[in-house]
Amino acid sequence: MNNTKYTLLQLNTARNCLRLLIRNYKIKEIYMPYYICPALRNAVFKEDCKIKYYHIDKNFRPERLSDKNVFILYPNYFGVCDDIVDEFESEYKNLIVDNAHSFYSSPKGLASFNSLRKFFPFLKSGAFLYSRDDVLNNLPNDDYLYEFIPFTYEEFCKNENRLDNEDIKNISPAVSEKYSFINLEEEQKNRMGNFNFYHSKLEKSNCLNLNNKNIIAPFCYPYLAKSQYEADELVKKLKSKGINIFRYWNNLPDSYEEKIFYTNLVALPLYKIAENL
């Protein structure tokens, strides 16, 4: 059990949580996986920090680094990697956990951060940063005003572009207020129920080894198909049921084993269930 006490900061974006950590700890070099959201790479570059890369296998397990004192970022992929985070925490004292896909996971490592909008799409910004040490914060508040915008792909892209250009700020008071009305326990229960439904239907054909007993209300149900054709057919079926599917992340050479996650992995959202798969 992790009894470490963490301080909490509420910022405008997950990527800016990472930027603030780099500033606070004066990080000049950080290890990151090849398979990661491009926004996080861009955030590191904005802070003039050097990136060294490591590979992961098809179950998101990272290769081990010989130097255990380095700063290392590990994403809790799709919210199903808490077991790996626990292992990594015991090995690397400067582990930073990206919990953007695992809002309900406990803080771990030197620091961790999550993302409100990944779990509550009607919130267009907001992230919580947990750190073992005090992080200097003389930041202005984000002035983003809450507005209800339908969650479409076009609006998603527009919002991503907006966030890419945001400075490091505290969370918008308007977003913070909307967040305070969310029934977190109910949201967690529904999300985990939908995950378990998909797992009961797809576990036998899923090429990922998912231990749902150690998963805490993840971002999605990640289904790794045996082929790109099978994945593409599943995406078509889901879209015909009104369920939009995002593919993560198309920025790796074909020779990298991680490329399979873009071609063969279908991230089934947990806000809506497709009954007949």
| pLDDT of 88 | 92
What is the pLDDT of the chain when averaged over all its residues? Answer: 89
Within a domain: 277: no
| pLDDT of 31 | 98
Are residues 141 and 230 located together in one domain of the fold?
A: no
| pLDDT of 213 | 80
Q: Is 0.85 topped by the overall pTM? A: yes
pLDDT tens digit sequence for 9-61 = 999 999 999 999 999 999 999 999 999 999 999 999 999 999 999 999 999 99
Are residues 207 and 257 located together in one domain of the fold?
A: yes
Residue 74 above 90 pLDDT? yes
Q: Which domain holds residue 75?
A: 7-180
Give the contacts of 7 (CB within 8 A, at least 6 positions apart): 130, 131, 132, 133, 134, 135
**DSSP string of 140-192?**
PBP-PPP------HHHHHHHHHHHHTPPS-BPPHHHHHHHHT--HHHHHHHHH
pLDDT tens digit sequence for 254-268 = 899 999 999 999 999
Last residue of a domain, one of 180, 213, 240: 180
| pLDDT of 114 | 97
105 vs 146, more confident? 105
| pLDDT of 137 | 74
| pLDDT of 2 | 62
Are residues 168 and 262 located together in one domain of the fold?
A: no
What whole-number percentage of the chain has pLDDT above 90?
71
Angle between helices 153-164 and 38-46 (to 10 degrees): 10
Tally of structural domains, the chain: 2
Could you tell me which of 238, 227, 215 has the C-alpha nearest to residue 263? Answer: 227
Could you tell me which of 192, 200, 191 has the C-alpha nearest to residue 277? Answer: 200
Are residues 122 and 38 located together in one domain of the fold?
A: yes
| pLDDT of 242 | 87
Question: What backbone phi and psi angles, to 5 degrees, belong to 95?
Answer: -75, 130
Q: Tokens 């939908």 belong to which residue?
A: 194
Within a domain: 274: no
| pLDDT of 159 | 54
pLDDT tens digit sequence for 189-209 = 999 999 999 999 999 999 999
Are residues 175 and 207 located together in one domain of the fold?
A: no
Average pLDDT, stretch 123-136?
Answer: 89
| pLDDT of 21 | 97
- Rounded distance, CA 74 to CA 273, Å? 29
Are residues 122 and 205 located together in one domain of the fold?
A: no
Average pLDDT, stretch 219-240?
Answer: 95
Within a domain: 17: yes
Q: Yes or no: say if 96 and 102 are a contact pair by the CB < 8 Å rule.
A: no
At residue 23, the 3 state secondary structure works out as: helix
Residue 26 sits in a domain whose CATH number is 3.40.640.10
Are residues 37 and 135 located together in one domain of the fold?
A: yes
Are residues 193 and 147 located together in one domain of the fold?
A: no
Last residue of a domain, one of 146, 161, 180: 180
The strand pair at 72-75 and 265-269 is best described as unpaired
Give the contacts of 225 (CB within 8 A, at least 6 positions apart): 205, 207, 231, 234, 264, 265, 266
The strand pair at 95-99 and 111-114 is best described as parallel
Residue 121 above 70 pLDDT? yes
Average pLDDT, stretch 58-65?
Answer: 93
